[in-house]
Chains A and B, each alone.
Chain A
Amino acid sequence: MPDQLLFAMEVTLNGLMAGVLYSLVALGFVLIFKASGIFNYAQGVMALFAAMTLVGIQKGQVPFAHLINALLGTEVHHFGWHVPSILAILLTAGVMVVFAWIVERVVLKHLVNQPDIILFMATIGLAYFMEGFGDLMWGADIKKLDVGLPQGINIAIDDTTFGWFGYGFFIDNLDIVATVIAILLVISLTVFSQYSKQGRALRAVADDHQAALSVGISLRFIWVLVWSIAGFVALVAGIMWGAKSGVQFSLSLIALKALPVLMLGGFTSIPGAIIGGLIIGVGEKLFEFAIGPLVGGATENWFAYVLALIFLVFRPQGLFGEKIIERV
């Protein structure tokens, strides 16, 4: 086989893996949008915050150390213990639940029945707040996240493909783990929403707020629930991205990567988020591979958006979005 084709195949595989990571973030968006009609811009910052909290708890950092030192003139930074990864992940999940509860209490409760744009703005405000809060709590330096996930080139795939084509594909172990986890996550979310009592309530709310209220479903509980789940999804995304490229500010920008995925897949569809992610992941990697060198590279920044834009002109509700019916 010609080299170019092999490279393209490798790029496609890597694109699929990257797409899974985009899907993970997009999933959080879809969950909240379905249940409450809120376009949650803070999802990316939630992932960053979750990852920071995880690292902070793991390493035993003192929260707000900088602030305490500046105010009291002390020199605290670490408690001096190390929390095992599993425990730290559970604790962080707990933090995200508390966060969801606070958001519902402080923000969402007061913004019921406001226009969508106002709610969207509120989540941008929330994103700013959390960005500052996270940095203040755990420090703004780049952190290394290590929860024991395998990393580096997958030898087995490298060897097998070398045996087949005479050229070994480079696939990162972490990407494979991420794919497996994403699949598990989607399956468990589907099972949860199909078969559990809360899951059914969730779908009822997504379908019609007022009808759900009238049969006795607590809207506020559902919101806390769905923000907690979104927080948990953000934690998973944060772990994956954080393990890949370190926990730093740019992690919050993955939200921007997930937006075209959402547009492509439709704001209201979980399978849409997955398939949209895969299309975007493969598309942008292949485009960068084929066209990138001709136009100076870094096309990944905008390709996904332009692809989604062109796509939407032909299908305004995205691939799997609910058909938009407009009435006067």
Chain B
Amino acid sequence: MIYREAGEYKTSYDADSRTFPIKFDRMGYYTAMAVAFLVVPFIINDYWASAVAVPFLIYVIAALGLNILTGFAGQVSLGTGGFMAVGAYACYKLMTGFPEVSIFFHVLIAGGVTAIVGVLFGLPSLRIKGFYLAVATLAAQFFLVWLFNKVPWFYNHSASGQINAPERTVFGIAVTGPNTDAWAKYLFCLIFVVVLAWIARNLTRGSVGRKWMAIRDMDIAAEIIGVNPLMAKLTAFAVSSFFVGVAGALFFSVYLGAVEVGEAFGIQKSFLVLFMIIIGGLGSIFGAFAGAAFMVLLPVLLKNILVGGLGWPTDLAAHLEFMIVGGLIVAFLIVEPHGLAQLWRLAKEKLRLWPFPH
């Protein structure tokens, strides 16, 4: 009854092509933004920030990036972990090399560096397609992780081989390092998420996004109607890697603080982000949010129920967690291959007609 488009008259093209054409959606969006910026920072504590909020926000950025590449441009990538590592190490080198520059720019430049690396590894995509490409991106994953492990310059010759984020501030407030407040971490990541999600949304519905989708649906046909596959695929790799690089930089500097590359950015991370976009919905911005929320919340929830609630030993709970995550993924794919975003779309369709479905 509340959710409907009847009675909403659009009098300009701008109004017609806005992201949230229905008033109720718009109100929901403004409310979510208000809560995220004005309420959550005041009530967030360390546990919620480090267990849920900050990883969620960072994974949203990574999932947005991979979704651009896989969901919109149709190039399956299993190298997300490796590209996140590039972002993290670029950020680390910048943070230690230019301490006087704001971390804000470091994160952005780290994204830019990752974009360049991403384009390099994206070059074979012009020849290699489908699963061959998916496996080829694994080359990036393994090579990059090995590189950061073996070349001491990347970790400033530290004895442990780890990289540690020094304390950096934005407007005098610490956002990295051990003395950071939960709300500062949260807000810092939130700003990146909002800006990048806005960019992603507008890129994907503009001409670039349509070219990506044309390539995804059938690259030869797209080429015939005048889409340049070289440009389309490489821009997809560049934009996607930029997002993933920013996510990696934040993951290292704000969330973890200290990183051992094989552990933090291994192949498991690539699969995790891939799961997020599959469960959330390929080719959907909302899907990236939903998928990231699902995959971040599920382990926390399971752990709380099994270990905290039922008192099972942690190793048993860990095995069960694997089973449940795997089982859920399979179940999800069977029930709704287009992910949570499709469920949401269906729900909206139903809501529009409710309570008179005929």
Question: Is B24 positioned at the interface, with any CB of A under 8 Å from its CB?
Answer: no
Say yes or no: A107 contacts B143, CB within 8 Å.
no
Bound state CA distance, A170 and B238, in angstroms?
48
Say yes or no: A136 contacts B130, CB within 8 Å.
no
Question: Is A288 positioned at the interface, with any CB of B under 8 Å from its CB?
Answer: no
A residues in contact with B166, CB < 8 Å: none
- Name the residue of chain A whose CB is nearest to the CB of B131: A39
Say yes or no: B329 contacts A122, CB within 8 Å.
yes
Question: Is A110 positioned at the interface, with any CB of B under 8 Å from its CB?
Answer: yes
Say yes or no: B316 contacts A121, CB within 8 Å.
no
Q: What bracket does the count of chain B residues touching chain A fall in?
A: 35 or more
Interface contacts beyond A118-B337, A126-B330, A259-B138: sample of 5 additional A-B pairs, CB < 8 Å, sorted by A = A124-B271, A125-B325, A129-B322, A135-B322, A256-B267
Question: Is B334 positioned at the interface, with any CB of A under 8 Å from its CB?
Answer: yes
Say yes or no: A313 contacts B138, CB within 8 Å.
no
Bound state CA distance, A122 and B218, in angstroms?
23
Say yes or no: A121 contacts B143, CB within 8 Å.
no
Say yes or no: A328 contacts B218, CB within 8 Å.
yes
B residues in contact with A324, CB < 8 Å: 129
Cross-chain pairs A/B with CB under 8 angstroms, 11 sampled: A70-B313, A121-B278, A124-B275, A124-B329, A125-B325, A132-B320, A136-B316, A267-B132, A297-B150, A305-B135, A306-B143
Q: With A107-B330, A129-B326 in contact, is A328–B143 under 8 Å at CB? A: no
Number of interface residues of A (CB under 8 A): 55
B residues in contact with A133, CB < 8 Å: 319, 322-323
Say yes or no: A302 contacts B132, CB within 8 Å.
no
- Name the residue of chain B whose CB is nearest to the CB of A295: B150
Bound state CA distance, A301 and B275, in angstroms?
24
Question: Is A326 positioned at the interface, with any CB of B under 8 Å from its CB?
Answer: yes
B residues in contact with A267, CB < 8 Å: 131-132
Question: Is B274 positioned at the interface, with any CB of A under 8 Å from its CB?
Answer: yes
Say yes or no: A132 contacts B131, CB within 8 Å.
no
Question: Is B100 positioned at the interface, with any CB of A under 8 Å from its CB?
Answer: no
Say yes or no: B313 contacts A132, CB within 8 Å.
no
- Name the residue of chain A whose CB is nearest to the CB of B74: A117
Bound state CA distance, A107 and B324, in angstroms?
15
Contact residues, A117-142 vs B (CB, 8 A):
117-118, 120-122, 124-133, 135-136, 140
Say yes or no: B127 contacts A125, CB within 8 Å.
no
- Name the residue of chain A whose CB is nearest to the CB of B267: A256
Question: Is B327 positioned at the interface, with any CB of A under 8 Å from its CB?
Answer: yes
Question: Is A211 positioned at the interface, with any CB of B under 8 Å from its CB?
Answer: no
